[in-house]
Structure 1
Amino acid sequence: MDLGLQGQLVTTQTFDYTVSFETNGGCELRIENEYILQTPHGTLSFSPEPSNADSEPLKSLAEQSISHASVENDGTLGVTFANGNELRVQPSPSYEAWTVAGPRGMKVVCMPGEELAIWNATEA
């Protein structure tokens, strides 16, 4: 499932016990599970925690354009950035792994066990 984030620019990053990225298109991506960042220099694994704010590879996503964002059939989220990095988040068997929220009430949540909860944007 395509999430429709192509061309949006990451404007804000927040690191606490979740990781959040906000875009200039009014979308928010919130990660609450372990995730990986595939870069041209290798694959890095992260847990959502405040110490990630010091990670140069994660900082490099600020001001990057999103090339593609989609959800695989098993609930895995994949976000590819213009600099070639790819963020991947797999579902969790126990809790919500990630959420993408957008304008007009659009929301996709990866529920425990690969199930997706989907709210479509309302017409304005």
Structure 2
Amino acid sequence: MSTEESPVEHEDRWILNLRGMSVAKIIVDFRLVLVLDTDWEVALEAPVSLSHGTVHASPSVLLNPESQDVAAALALFGAKVLSAVAFKSGTLRLVFDTGHHLTCSSDPSFEAWQVTGPADWRFASLPGGDLAVWSGSGTSDSSLDTR
């Protein structure tokens, strides 16, 4: 489990407090949902890049939640999160202890992904490449329009 109590905002990104959390469940409908062993959930709706090791050693696989083409994501079951970053450009990057890297970029037309957790935390990639952040204290205006 993470040593951080809440996600931490930086100039260009949010460091999410998911370190040490395991993927306890994988749900597939029109989304690919990674349910962590706590109250955090990662829901991916846009195509997702999943790679293992370095890009040079192993090319990435494109997962497409809309068509349920996400079988490669099963390798994440039980994996522990090493790093979780929500960039203010709308990109999400997760790194796992298995050597897998998951990257979901923003989409021009819809919310590509969202991460939800306790204390009403919610991060969402907005259409066009911005990041919206909500917590129990309301929306963080500083992360809405970062261009």
TM-score, L = length of structure 2: 0.76
**1:121: how far off?**
4.3
Amino acid at match of 1:62: F
1:62 maps to: 77
2:114 maps to: 99
1:88 is paired with a residue whose SS is strand
Amino acid at match of 2:109: S
Q: Cα deviation per residue 1:60-109 (whole Å; 9 max; x = unaligned)?
A: 10011000000224211000000110000000010000000001211011
Larger of the two Rg values belongs to structure: 2
Gaps of 5+ in 1: none
Gaps of 5+ in 2: 1-13, 138-147
Runs of 4+ in structure 1 off by over 6 angstroms are: none
Q: Percent identity?
A: 25
2:46 maps to: 33
Residues 1:44 and 1:51: Cα distance change in structure 2 (over 3 Å): closer
Amino acid at match of 2:99: G
Matched positions, count: 119
1:89 maps to: 104
TM-score, L = length of structure 1: 0.89
User: Which structure ranks higher in relative contact order (CA pairs < 8 Å, sequence separation ≥ 6)?
Assistant: 1
CA separation in 2, counterparts of 1:16 and 1:50? 7
Q: RMSD over aligned Cα, in angstroms?
A: 1.3
